[in-house]
Amino acid sequence: MAILDILSDQLKYLIKEGKTKEKEFEEQLQNASLGVSSQLPTNSIPRTKCTELDNLYQEIFNSVTSGRLAVRNAQSPCEFDVVALQTLKGRTWLTDKLVVACLHLSDKLPFVRVGWCIPIHQDIQPEFPMQQPFERASLSIESWRKQAGQSQLVYFFPLNQHGNHFTLLEINEREGYIYHYNSMQGKSKDVEVYFNQDSFHSTTVNS
């Protein structure tokens, strides 16, 4: 019942003063042996075969309290779970948010804008394309254009196709072309159908 008594005290502060006393609350929890750590025990943190990655993950995990990371000054909101860093270990499927975070953290010229990962196909039925997958992206591009004034921009959007393959879309106003970078052979009709074929270039990148 100790936790109820502590919460009752904080509720009285909230009613009387309009706020709780956070420091006192933490001290009461510790005194009652009810303190909750934001970190998992070290032996419960998932491990990989990469020592450097494990050390990086441990360092970051110990420095955050919410279990989530956000990229500062990102051109579009970019936040992901710390656990997603574990997917950097090799042949593990990366999360879409981690892919976007890497683009935000990379060196970019001033006229480059990075969006978010656009799903091209449905989650439940990955053989079927989404309806109007680029609608939200077009609104953001319009907003970026207004902010840039007369400057011509270049936009990057990762694309998630069939739920198991990432490609990259580049909309280049400076060259007047749209590039689709795909590490797999063959064209992506579900992507090309949305763009003017005269300005669309599908490029296979050997990896």
Average pLDDT, 10 consecutive residues per value, the chain (207 residues): 58 64 66 48 57 76 77 80 77 84 89 93 87 90 93 94 90 91 78 74 60
CA separation for the pair 61, 45 (Å, rounded): 9
For residue 23, the 8-state DSSP code is: H
Helices (H) and strands (E) in the chain, counts: 6, 8
β-pair type (200-204, 79-81): unpaired
Tokens 């198991």 — which residue? 164
Statement: the pTM of the whole predicted model exceeds 0.75:
no
CA separation for the pair 140, 125 (Å, rounded): 27
Output the pLDDT for position 200: 65
Task: Indicate the helix (H) or strand (E) that contains 101.
Answer: helix 96-105
- The b/e string for 91-114 (b: 16+ C-beta within 10 A; e otherwise) is eeeebbbbbbbebbeeeeeeebbb
Residues 60 and 88 sit within 8 Å (Cβ to Cβ)? no
Domains of the chain with bracketed CATH: 1-36 (no CATH), 37-91 (no CATH), 108-207 (3.30.310)
